[in-house]
Amino acid sequence: MHPQIGDRPEEACGVFGVYGSEEAVDMTYFGLFALQHRGQESAGIAVSCGERIRLKKGMGLVSEVFGPNDLANMSGRMAIGHVRYSTTGTTLLANAQPLLVRYRLGQLALGHNGNLVNAFSLRKELEEEGSIFQTTMDTEVIAHLIARSSRGGDFEGCVLDALSKVRGGFAIVAMNSHMLVGARDVRGIRPLSLGRLRDGYVLASETCAIDAVGGEYVRDIRPGEAVFIDADGVRSVQFREPEEESLCVFEYIYFARPDSDMRDLNVHAVRKELGRRLAHALPVEADLVTGVPDSSISAATGYAEEADIPYEMGLVKNRYIGRTFIQPQQTAREFAVRLKLNPLKRVLQGKRVVLVDDSIVRGTTSKYIVNLLREAGAREVHLRISSPPYRSSCYYGIDTSSQEELIAAGKEVEEIRQYVGADTLAYLSLEDLLDVVGSQKRHCLACFTGDYLEKVPEGTKKSMFEEASWDGGEA
């Protein structure tokens, strides 16, 4: 588990790509800003001038990686970008993306969101055949499959050949010197959308990033589809027979930005309705409703409206400290959380508070926030969760705790309530969740139900290369 403050499942990363614009680099930079919530560990941009690809990447936020002169020194009409929160591979600069490699057909840049459930076995097979890996991330497996494809000098064919061999949840942007590629896993677990620019095209993990660069949303990339974008326009190829789209339901609950749309549903509207369902099904007498910023604010306002209880800002989030790492000492950990969230004592003092949050994973942060509200003078704290109990680890591109660390995997609701210290605790039902996001549509619900969309190979871990022999040392 990566040492990040919080008790949330963390998204793997965000991908972005632009073709056919003189401002491709600037657009990619702004697109990554719009996707920063999907990954704060590293950022990178690769740009093609038509002859060669240049890459700039580094550890930290987009604003930390790219200085004033970096973009000025990069030019081209095609670029891809990536923000990362690692789910496979350790925290190393070598694992930052996009990945740039040189092989027999020239240069290849690749950015990837998700997890390949067969990455470890593919890597082992490739190593036995002589491949040398420079990173510990599953993205490099895809690059090696492209490079070793038997499709000869056909770049499109090599990409399709590689995509046909990987399994799991993924969204990919890639490019050679003259062509942009976008692809999505056969079940559409991880999101990827296509947009139109005045003078080109854009690919992005979320529609908010298309909006950020002035693009017009066209459609989602279909499950099992690859799109190839070059001077002739957009070509679509189905690299594997698609299955029913099963978008990760946590995109609605937590991952996506509120101004993004997923499968024709606005994320803010979905979260607000989840809050309404919570208030309708699980009411409680209280003086005010507050949400854990930022992802729970929409659900909290929906709860407040439905319950006819005033919504108040009970917690303030410090937005300027970037990623905060948990220190080994308990005191340092508590100060780090307090630095991120501060209660409004004058709002909370003497009040019965409904605290709305989107999920409880380990329970440690929920326990701390409940205690924070009590220290600020809250008379009662009623915790309401706008999703069902999180009981199973994810193998498709979300960084969650191990099964043993998931509090709902081994405890009943009353035991969890006692642990976090709330006066009452209630979760949204799975039926209400599905009713809001569309019960007629399939979603990946494995984190709630334990029913995975495909058989996960025995021995597979969330971090596929935890036992890889390669040791990259310290970042």
Q: Residue 29: give the domain boundaries.
A: 10-246
Are 307 and 278 members of one domain? yes
Are 232 and 270 members of one domain? no
> What is the distance between the alpha carbons of residues 461 and 123, in angstroms, rounded to a whole number?
14
pLDDT, mean over the chain: 88
Residue 4 lies in a domain: no
Residue 1 lies in a domain: no
Are 200 and 291 members of one domain? no
Are 226 and 328 members of one domain? no
Are 229 and 131 members of one domain? yes
Residues 119, 140 contacting (CB under 8 angstroms):
no
The DSSP element (H or E) to which 354 belongs, if any, is strand 352-357
Are 308 and 159 members of one domain? no
C-alpha torsion sign, points 460, 463, 466, 471: positive
Using the predicted structure, report yes or no on whether residue 467 has a pLDDT greater than 60: no
pLDDT category, 1, cuts 50, 70, 90? very low
> What is the distance between the alpha carbons of residues 213 and 30, in angstroms, rounded to a whole number?
7
Are 222 and 99 members of one domain? yes
Residues 57, 65 contacting (CB under 8 angstroms):
yes
Residue 448 lies in a domain: no
Percentage with pLDDT > 90 across the chain: 72
- Amino acid in position 31: G
Active site residues: 13
Residue 452 lies in a domain: no
Are 272 and 363 members of one domain? yes
> What is the distance between the alpha carbons of residues 166 and 156, in angstroms, rounded to a whole number?
16
Any idea what the CATH number is for the domain that residue 145 is in?
3.60.20.10
Residues 200, 20 contacting (CB under 8 angstroms):
yes
Could you give the strand order of the β-sheet that contains 53-59, starting from the edge strand earlier in sequence? 53-59, 42-48, 78-84, 13-19, 200-204, 193-197, 216-220
Using the predicted structure, report yes or no on whether residue 198 has a pLDDT greater than 80: yes
> What is the distance between the alpha carbons of residues 191 and 95, in angstroms, rounded to a whole number?
22
pLDDT tens profile 285-336: 999 999 999 889 999 999 999 999 999 999 998 876 654 433 445 455 556 6
Question: Which DSSP string do the residues of 12-59 spell out, in sequence order?
Answer: -EEEEEEES-TTHHHHHHHHHHHTGGG--SEEEEEEE-SS-EEEEEEE
Average pLDDT over residues 4-29: 81
* Number of domains forming the structure of the chain: 2
